[in-house]
């Protein structure tokens, strides 16, 4: 029997109600990568509702599943060499990612760092050494990460350097030698440490305040100088050539007057810097240093005119590429491009059941704040509706998490889901959002619930002034910091919103600061300057902790939380629910015992979004 889903009417236009499952079930196939020799393609796909690894020949279609994870989806993976893949997974959302390896035929599955409570990350893939990678783990001390050279054949781990307690990141050169590190001193100052060879000791070459940025991106081909992104003496980050032994800038390479540089690419095959990029309001703008790379991108673009694309993987020779084509209405389609023959072959759509013609446009807009800033934002209207037709609509204000992150133009599953239900969705880059320069970022420090929240409020009021929003039907929904902004919205401006959904959000700035993961502890003083010091800023933090002002809430609230969340502890949601229930106010509360900071397991995601749909249908329409 074919299940038929109803249509509904939005101001005279019939729209098919797309099943919730279509938006939030696992992608059919995603995360495609090429093996180093280009002979195989790998990807992740559902098995028992968990994302697992599959491999198929590049010139074939028959694939085999090489992992069988049923408790938790694989969090990420990479090719270690042309015969072996590495993957990471955690337990119940605790974000303690553990490293495993498996051969491309599914044999020789091995746990490399399956140590309870220990988190692992890759420092250097060592593409020229098939049997080795360099990883970082906090197995010696939960607060810091030491670098190890891992032998993939024997599992032996060799400690390369012992973290003295303040190093936050390690960097290798093109030969896989540990050459640079970044440290936090006094909690707020950043140091770059450097050495010419591994036989030398690290020495401090630059000390800056954490507000200033100097980030080594990659070494030059001769391993003597570095490409670096920096905002020293400037507002926007810029790409420069730098002497790592002194951090002296040698040559400016690329900048934007309006945005931070967001990406740099170095070709291991060509042994040269190929291009850099910045992300604008809508487009990713690339600047090429290499004519052949520029021609490569032009050849691909000519085959998909008018479409956005990115290269997601390539073989070691860099003549075969996996690209993904996307838009605000297309969640992504994978293609294989072969440079030698200038041929483009479609691999698959990530979600073939999503029809582009049924999706909504994400419209880039700007609006003014009360103190004279102009903020970039995105308005998603129900499919087929133009900006001119959008009048007196139910609107969901959706501030992003982070908060030091950024909303971007492209396919957004939540926005499409809510727009399909007849709501307008408004996402804004409030002050503190990344990519807009140092001044804009710093304007958010110690402003949780204050000017940052004013930016969100001003966005909602702008929609009312434009006639887009019905003043009596504005909701607010967000996750993580967006969840905090949701709670702050209904306590600080209780008359603005008619209902709210808080997803793993902070409610108490004091307890939030006391329950952060152990590996954030070395940055505690920095957190005090960015969020607030519980002793020095007690009055400010109390004034802007929603849990202390629950008596102001007079609209329906739905809270969702993962029990194992290492970033926003479950107590954040428990406190808020308890405070409301003490006043006799019933609040919907969903807790998933096998989740962390956001719901990863498919069945939990579906439970959450079905509950959200019902909540908004009851309280917003």
pLDDT in tens, 119-152: 999 999 998 888 999 999 999 998 889 999 999 9
Say if CB 134 and CB 147 are below 8 A apart: yes
Amino acid 13: pLDDT: 58
Amino acid 14: pLDDT: 67
Give the span between the Cα atoms of 210 and 233, in whole angstroms: 14
Residues annotated catalytic, as ranges = 480, 565, 597
Q: What is the SS3 assignment for 619?
A: helix
Residue with tokens 């109600």: 17
Say if CB 444 and CB 431 are below 8 A apart: yes
Task: Please choose, from the candidates 439, 427, 555, 440, the residue with its C-alpha nearest in 3D space to the C-alpha of residue 491.
Answer: 555
481-492 helix and 451-465 helix, angle to the nearest 10 degrees: 70
Say if CB 378 and CB 398 are below 8 A apart: no
pLDDT in tens, 267-314: 999 999 999 999 999 999 999 999 999 999 999 999 999 899 999 999
Burial of 246 (0-12, 13-18, 19+ CB in 10 A): exposed
Amino acid 4: pLDDT: 40
The full set of domains in the chain, from first to last, is: 390-619 (3.40.50.1820)
Q: Which distant-in-sequence residues (6+ apart) come within 8 Å of 552 by Cβ?
A: 490, 491, 492, 494
Q: Which distant-in-sequence residues (6+ apart) come within 8 Å of 329 by Cβ?
A: 356, 357, 359, 360, 361, 411, 416
Residue with tokens 């051969």: 103
Structure token pair of residue 50: 């968990």
Residue 501's Cβ-side half-sphere holds a number of Cα atoms within 13 Å equal to 27
The residue ranges of the chain whose pLDDT is under 50 are 1-5, 7-8
pLDDT in tens, 546-581: 999 999 999 999 999 998 877 788 888 998 899 898
Residue 244's Cβ-side half-sphere holds a number of Cα atoms within 13 Å equal to 28
Pairing state between β 146-151 and 132-137: antiparallel
Amino acid 8: pLDDT: 46
Structure token pair of residue 390: 């959008």
Amino acid 2: pLDDT: 34
Which pTM does this prediction carry? 0.92
Say if CB 263 and CB 277 are below 8 A apart: yes
Amino acid 293: pLDDT: 97
Task: Please choose, from the candidates 29, 125, 107, the residue with its C-alpha nearest in 3D space to the C-alpha of residue 322.
Answer: 29
413-420 helix and 602-619 helix, angle to the nearest 10 degrees: 40
Give the span between the Cα atoms of 576 and 497, in whole angstroms: 18
């Amino acid at each position: 029997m074919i299940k038929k889903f109803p249509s509904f009417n939005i101001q005279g236009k019939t729209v098919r109600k797309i099943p919730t499952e279509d938006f939030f079930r696992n992608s059919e196939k995603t995360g495609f990568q090429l093996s180093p020799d280009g002979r195989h393609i790998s990807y992740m796909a559902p098995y028992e509702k968990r994302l697992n690894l599959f491999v198929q020949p590049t010139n074939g279609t028959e694939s085999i599943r090489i992992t069988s994870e049923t408790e938790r989806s694989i969090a990420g993976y990479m090719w270690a060499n042309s015969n072996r893949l590495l993957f990471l997974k955690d337990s119940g959302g605790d974000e303690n990612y553990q490293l495993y390896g498996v051969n491309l035929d599914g044999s020789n599955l091995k746990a490399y760092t399956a140590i309870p409570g220990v988190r692992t990350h890759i420092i250097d893939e060592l593409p020229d050494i098939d049997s080795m990678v360099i990883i970082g783990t906090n197995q010696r001390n939960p607060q810091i990460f030491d670098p190890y050279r891992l032998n993939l054949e024997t599992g032996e781990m060799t400690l390369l350097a012992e973290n003295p307690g303040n190093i936050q990141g390690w960097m290798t050169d093109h030969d896989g030698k540990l050459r640079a590190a970044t440290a936090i001193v006094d909690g707020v100052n950043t140091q770059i440490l450097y050495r010419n060879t591994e036989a030398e000791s690290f020495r401090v070459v630059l000390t800056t305040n954490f507000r200033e940025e100097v980030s080594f991106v990659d070494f030059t081909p001769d391993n003597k100088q570095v490409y670096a992104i920096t905002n020293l003496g400037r507002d926007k980050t810029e790409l420069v050539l730098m002497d790592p032994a002194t951090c002296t800038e040698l040559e400016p390479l690329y900048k934007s007057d309006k945005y931070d540089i967001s990406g740099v690419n170095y070709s291991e095959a060509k042994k040269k810097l190929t291009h850099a990029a910045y992300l604008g309001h809508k487009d990713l703008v690339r600047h090429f240093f290499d004519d052949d790379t520029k021609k490569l991108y032009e050849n691909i673009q000519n085959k998909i005119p008018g479409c956005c694309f990115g290269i997601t993987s390539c073989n070691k020779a860099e003549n075969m590429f996996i690209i993904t084509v996307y838009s605000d209405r297309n969640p992504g389609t994978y293609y294989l491009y072969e440079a030698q023959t200038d041929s483009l072959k479609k691999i698959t759509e990530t979600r073939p059941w999503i029809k582009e013609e049924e999706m909504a446009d994400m419209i880039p807009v700007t609006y003014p704040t009360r103190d004279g800033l102009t903020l970039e934002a995105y308005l998603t209207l129900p499919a087929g509706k133009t900006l001119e037709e959008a009048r007196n609509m139910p609107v969901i204000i959706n501030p992003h998490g982070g908060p030091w992150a950024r909303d971007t133009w492209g396919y957004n599953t939540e926005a499409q889901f809510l727009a399909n239900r007849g709501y307008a969705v408004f996402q804004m880059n409030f002050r503190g959002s990344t990519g807009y320069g140092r001044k804009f970022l710093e304007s958010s420090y110690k402003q949780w619930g204050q000017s940052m929240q004013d930016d969100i409020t001003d966005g909602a009021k702008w929609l009312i002034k434009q006639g887009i929003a019905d003043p009596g039907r504005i909701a607010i929904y967000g996750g993580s910091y967006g969840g905090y902004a949701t709670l702050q919205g209904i306590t600080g401006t209780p008359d603005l919103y008619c209902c709210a959904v808080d997803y793993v959000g902070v409610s108490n700035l004091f307890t939030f600061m006391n329950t952060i993961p152990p590996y954030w502890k070395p940055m505690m003083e920095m957190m005090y300057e960015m969020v607030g010091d519980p002793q020095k800023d007690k009055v400010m933090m109390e004034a802007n902790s929603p849990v202390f002002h629950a008596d102001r809430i007079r609209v329906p609230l739905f809270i969702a939380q993962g029990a194992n969340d290492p970033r926003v502890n479950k107590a954040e949601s428990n406190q808020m629910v308890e405070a409301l229930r003490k006043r006799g106010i019933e609040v919907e509360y969903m807790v998933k015992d096998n989740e962390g900071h956001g719901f990863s397991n498919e069945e939990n995601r579906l439970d959450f979004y079905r509950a959200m749909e019902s909540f908004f249908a009851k309280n917003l329409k």
